[in-house]
């Protein structure tokens, strides 16, 4: 068994073609709260992966979920993180696709909760991973915040191509999303809120 990653809250191991995601103890949290949180996130990620498979959304296929050991097993996506491949030449095409896929999530009232280019893997198409912070919601606000977080992630990790990349995300989103205008209007409000917050002492 080979360790392939350690994210913010989980250790990721690879065994043949199976990824094992184990949510590890956080000793800074109170024990009961830590257990409840890890159980909740394991269950939540499981539920969302099941739903996504049922609508043929490109994510890993769930193999096993165990909320006692806080483990999820899924198939290994043998590709590259979008974070490592995105560049000035390919960003319009890739980000357009990403936008379309976020629109599909949102049309199904799924909020990813942690949209970053590290949580997307490119094989022949873009796959989304890491649904531990995801939830079901039909609120425009939640969808706008989801887009806002991706905007921030792109701004910090892909600064040089940030505008082109995020505009392409929105162009793709517009093609597929049911409530595009409403969501974009709300996104602008979310951004303004963020700006004011940043400026206050």
Ligand X SMILES: Nc1ncnc2c1ncn2[C@@H]1O[C@H](COP(=O)(O)OP(=O)(O)O)[C@@H](O)[C@H]1O
Q: Which residues bind Mg ion (CB under 5 A)?
A: 7, 119, 130
Which residue's CB is nearer to ligand X, number 128 or number 187? 128
- Distance from first CA to last CA of the chain, Å, rounded? 49
Whose Cβ is closer to ligand X: residue 113's or residue 172's? 113
* Residue number closest to ligand X, CB atom: 7
43: nearest Cα among 122, 117, 136: 136
Cα 168 from Cα 170, distance rounded (Å) = 5
For 70, the 3-state DSSP assignment is: coil
Token reading at 88: 């000035």
**115 or 183: whose CB is closer to Mg ion?**
115
Q: Binds 99, which of ligand X, Mg ion, none (CB < 5 to 8 A, cut-off by type)?
A: none
Please spell the DSSP secondary structure of 20-83, one letter per residue. EEEEPP-TTS-HHHHHHHHHHHHHHHHHHHHHHHHTT-SSPPEEEEETTTTEEEEE---SEEHH
Q: Which does 162 bind (CB under 5 to 8 A by kind): ligand X, Mg ion, none?
A: none
Nearest distance, CB of residue 102 and Mg ion, angstroms: 16
CB of 170 to ligand X, least distance (A): 24
Residue closer to ligand X by CB (options 1, 8) is 8
CA distance 110 to 138: 8
In angstroms, give the least distance from the CB of 30 to ligand X.
21
Q: Among 117, 114, 115, which residue's Cα sits nearest to residue 91?
A: 117
The residue from 67, 84, 114, 138 that is catalytic is 114
Which of ligand X, Mg ion, none does residue 132 bind (CB under 5 to 8 Å by kind)? Answer: ligand X
172 binds, among Mg ion, ligand X, none (CB under 5 to 8 A by kind): none
- Structure-token pair, residue 171: 């162009």
Structure tokens belonging to residue 196: 């004011």
Q: Tell me if residue 114 is catalytic.
A: yes
Given the rule CB under 6 A, which residues bind ligand X? 4-5, 7-10, 12, 19, 21, 60, 74, 76-77, 81, 118-119, 121, 129-130, 132
Catalytic residue ranges: 114
């Amino acid at each position: 068994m080979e360790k392939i990653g350690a994210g913010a809250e989980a250790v990721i191991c690879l065994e043949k073609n199976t990824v094992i995601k184990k949510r590890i103890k956080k000793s800074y949290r109170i024990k009961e709260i830590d257990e409840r949180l890890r159980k909740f996130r394991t269950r939540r990620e499981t539920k969302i992966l099941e739903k996504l498979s049922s609508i043929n959304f490109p994510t890993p296929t769930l193999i096993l979920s165990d909320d006692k050991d806080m483990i999820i097993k899924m198939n290994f996506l043998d590709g590259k993180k979008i974070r490592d491949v995105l560049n000035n030449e390919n960003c319009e095409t890739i980000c357009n696709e990403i936008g379309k896929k976020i629109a599909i999530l949102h049309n199904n009232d799924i909020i990813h909760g942690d949209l970053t280019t590290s949580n997307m893997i490119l094989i022949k198409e873009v796959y989304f991973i890491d649904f531990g912070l995801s939830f079901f919601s039909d609120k425009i606000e939640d969808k706008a915040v989801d887009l806002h977080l991706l905007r921030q992630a792109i701004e910090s990790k892909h600064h040089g191509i940030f505008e082109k990349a995020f505009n392409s995300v929105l162009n793709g989103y517009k093609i597929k999303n049911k409530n595009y205008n409403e969501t974009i209007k709300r996104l602008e409000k979310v951004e303004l809120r963020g700006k004011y917050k940043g400026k206050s002492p």
